[in-house]
Amino acid sequence: MEKPSIKDVAEKAGVSIATVSNVVNKKGRVSEKMIDRVQSIISEMGYSPNISARGLKQQQSYLIGVIVPFQQQDGNLQDNPFYWNLVSGIELGARNEKFHVILSGINEENADALDFVKDRHLDGLVIVGTYEDSPITQKINQLNIPCVYIDSYLKDKNCYEVYLDDEKGAYEGTKYLLNHGHQNIAVISGELEGGVTTARLRGHIDALNKNGLLFSEENHIVAPVSIEGGLHTANQILALKDISAIFCFSDVTAFGVMKGLHDLGVNIPEDLSIMGFDDLYFSKYLSPPLTTISQDIILKGKTATELLIGQIDHKVNIERKNTIPIKIMERNSIKPFNDKLI
């Protein structure tokens, strides 16, 4: 039994397809009687509109695209559990508004894969973790459709963005370390090309300066944002003299650092204190449980979708830049230094 079309419904109800369409979309003027009659036939036949046809006519799809970085390493995808929650949040937000989500992994090289956005008439895009002038950003600008960027720190004041309060997070994290007597802090960050790292570094330096201290590049290690990345810094960290604490700008890196240090016989937090950033699922189960800056990833995703759908529906007064608050998750990877207690 084929799925009935609007024509089938119209015939059975003895009315025109225009009327059925009006009933379905609650548009135009249709009498109560007619609405009831058509409505009951619709549910009897199990009719629902063909979205391809509607999309063709209306040039809209009620579909939003989610573009996530999609890095391949030796033929395998890079595993970043962070994104799963984000996408879940986006999906949740979309579903509440009768939109659906098309997922598209993409990388810097094949920005052409974005052509599907036009072909499918996507209504909007959520883009995760790109940066100013990246090939992806450029391609997306040409598309000229509603967009919301997550964690991208673009300079364009008009584009919609949602990001964590990275600067404040790093500021508070650093302050927390300072309050626990740590004056000499190593920083492990990702590459500076992304705005996220820059913002976190700014917050860190600011906190240092406000407390009469100077940031020293010598204590700054740049490493890939991954467990391996952290792991490989262990020796460099030990070579740093006088540091009493490490501020890892991501939990995934902190995981690696802790593992590397542990294998070298360093005790945490007795020998060295560690602060993380992100509060991933496993962070509270590390040994010791990692003190870190937490963010509500689901909220981040949901907020992005709301902003996007707001744009699509031409709502006014939507904030262009949205910040998700941070919170320090105090656990056991930091111990007071030099008897200088809180």
Partner DNA sequence: AAATTATTTGCAATCGTTTTCATTATTTTT
Partner DNA sequence: AAAAATAATGAAAACGATTGCAAATAATTT
- Options 129-137, 285-293, 315-323, 331-339: segment touching a copy of itself (CB under 8 A): 285-293
Of 184, 166, 142, 164, the closest CA to residue 298 belongs to 164
Question: Quick check: 167 binds a copy of itself (CB under 8 A)?
Answer: no
- Options 33-41, 77-85, 123-131, 240-248: segment touching a copy of itself (CB under 8 A): 77-85
* Binder of a copy of itself out of 232, 259, 321, 331 (CB under 8 A): 259
Task: Compare residues 25 and 211 and give the one whose CB is closer to a copy of itself.
Answer: 25
* Binder of a copy of itself out of 255, 274, 304, 306 (CB under 8 A): 255
Question: Quick check: 269 binds a copy of itself (CB under 8 A)?
Answer: no
- Tell me how far, at minimum, the Cβ of 100 lies from DNA, in Å: 16
Strands, DSSP E only, in the chain? Answer: 63-69, 72-73, 76-77, 100-106, 124-128, 147-150, 160-164, 185-189, 220-222, 245-248, 273-278, 291-294, 321-324, 327-329
List 275's β-bridge partners, or say none. Answer: 247, 291
Cα(125)–Cα(135) distance, integer angstroms = 16
- Options 178-186, 193-201, 236-244, 278-286: segment touching a copy of itself (CB under 8 A): 278-286
* Binding interface with DNA (CB under 7 A): 5-7, 14-19, 21-22, 24-25, 27-34, 47-50, 53-54, 56-59
Q: What is the CA radius of gyration of the chain?
A: 26
Question: Quick check: 222 binds a copy of itself (CB under 8 A)?
Answer: no
Question: Quick check: 100 binds a copy of itself (CB under 8 A)?
Answer: yes
The token pair at 257 is 């650092």
CA distances from 55 to 50, 51, 81, 103, 121 (A): 9, 6, 34, 19, 8
CB distance 114 to 67 below 8 Å: yes
Task: Compare residues 22 and 283 and give the one whose CB is closer to a copy of itself.
Answer: 283
CB distance 261 to 248 below 8 Å: no
Task: Compare residues 25 and 96 and give the one whose CB is closer to DNA.
Answer: 25
- Options 112-120, 126-134, 148-156, 322-330: segment touching a copy of itself (CB under 8 A): 112-120
- Tell me how far, at minimum, the Cβ of 81 lies from a copy of itself, in Å: 4
CA distances from 53 to 7, 42, 49, 223, 249 (A): 13, 18, 8, 50, 48
Cα(292)–Cα(326) distance, integer angstroms = 10
The token pair at 52 is 């391809």
Question: Quick check: 181 binds a copy of itself (CB under 8 A)?
Answer: no
Cα 253 off chain centre by = 18
**What residues make contact with a copy of itself under the rule CB under 8 A?**
3, 48-53, 55-56, 61, 63, 66, 70, 76-77, 79-81, 83-85, 87-89, 91-92, 95, 100-105, 113, 115-116, 118-121, 227, 231, 255-256, 259, 262-263, 281-282, 285-287, 298
